[in-house]
Amino acid sequence: MTTTSERVSEALTRQVSKVSQSVFDGSRLRVVLLVDVYDGAQQQFLKAYEHLCNQVASVPGHVSDQLCQSIENPSQWLVTSEWESAPPFLAWVNSEEHVQMVKPLHGCVRDTRSLRFHVVRETGVGVERSPQRRLQTSPRIGDGLIRHALTFTVRPGSEEKVRKLLAEYAAPEARVDATTRLCRTSLFMHGNRVVRAIEVRGDLLAALRHVAQQPEVRAVEEAINPYLEQERDLGDQESARIFFTRAALPAVHHVTADGLAWGERCAMYYPAIPGRGMRLAELLAQYDEMVAEDPTSPVLRSTIFHRDDIVVRLLDLREETGTQPVVPPSPHAAELKSLLDGGAVHMDLVTDRRSPDA
């Protein structure tokens, strides 16, 4: 039988090892977009940006933006924008409206890289202090992993063929470069929806490009192309860009109660009623924060992914504990259920592959 002192010791250990990353702390967001423009296309890019800027100004939660050009290389540009908090930015950047809005940029841009930061500290004359300019209260402690997911649907009736293709692919080389490696890839399906979750140590963009270039991965991607509901041509840069933009399922919350143990992996899919996906993800995040403080909880770590009306909760559970309820008990359980469109479900695990030295 576990003694009181042992339970206290375990609770303290879990407190020390707890990792929490979230977009829901209410602090302001700074978005940095690095842009590499084709030589000679600078004026075209500036015109497209000015048109886009006028549209973005009316997006809820947008505060300001700034466009800068490198003094050393005229092809390098920097776009920074400020948002009241992360959720309104994510709601916009993951929307179909955004996909259509940025299309004029594609013809003059060679490459882009987007970085998102919560504002922790701020100095300067005349800096406004108000509830609307809230700062992140304290720095977060990470575990060195970046989490990302993709989701897409296949044509009804093709599910078993797609499942077989996804289950049998050869895992790509885990090492990307000197500083980046793939740590874990998990594939899930429910009905005709596929979710692929990855964990990367290092540079996420470099890892995604590395995976996309692997012959074994390309072969599987080409094999499932005929079954996709959204058509794509991986040989066409614009077609591939739009597909993966729409398929992106960003992590909006992660909490780790025990950073040392590996557990049994499962995923729940929460379809939200239109326009309420972000609130649903926020309620699940609040619940998972409470779970992380409970030393008796079977949950070792939880990641919540969200895009539009799709919310996926990825869990690592202690061995032989079974699965968590699809709608977890919490003070907000009634509201959470009211946000679901047709109910939440466990997804089927297709494959889960982890690098030996992850």
Q: How many domains does the chain have?
A: 2
Q: Does residue 94 form part of some domain?
A: yes
Enter the pTM of the model.
0.86
Sheet holding 109-118, edge to edge: 62-69, 76-83, 29-37, 109-118
Are 174 and 321 part of one and the same domain? yes
What are the start-end ranges of the H helices in 173-214? 204-213
Contacts of 208 (CB under 8 A, 6+ apart): 148
Residue length of the chain: 358
Are 115 and 229 part of one and the same domain? no
Q: Which residue has the tokens 């300067």?
A: 124
Least confident span in 130-144, 262-276, 333-347: 130-144
pLDDT at 338: 93
Question: What does the pLDDT look like over 277-301, one tens digit per residue?
Answer: 999 999 999 999 888 888 888 888 8
Domain coverage including residue 348: 9-22+142-354
Angle between helices 277-292 and 86-93 (to 10 degrees): 130
Are 179 and 314 part of one and the same domain? yes
Residue from 252, 251, 288, 272 nearest 336 by CA: 272
Least confident span in 30-44, 163-177, 232-246: 232-246
Q: Does residue 152 form part of some domain?
A: yes
Q: Does residue 264 form part of some domain?
A: yes
Are 289 and 326 part of one and the same domain? yes
Mark which of 52, 86, 119 sits at the end of a domain. 119
Are 51 and 151 part of one and the same domain? no
Contacts of 127 (CB under 8 A, 6+ apart): none
Residue from 90, 67, 92, 82 nearest 128 by CA: 82
Over the chain, what is the mean pLDDT? 86
Q: Does residue 136 form part of some domain?
A: no
In this model, does residue 320 exceed pLDDT 80?
no
**DSSP conformational letter for 289:** H
CATH assignment of the domain containing 166: 3.30.70.100
Are 14 and 78 part of one and the same domain? no
Q: Does residue 125 form part of some domain?
A: no
Token pair belonging to 180: 């980046």
Q: Which amino acid is at 218?
A: R
Mark which of 119, 154, 183 sits at the end of a domain. 119
Residue from 236, 230, 220 nearest 187 by CA: 220
Are 18 and 51 part of one and the same domain? no
Mark which of 67, 85, 119 sits at the end of a domain. 119
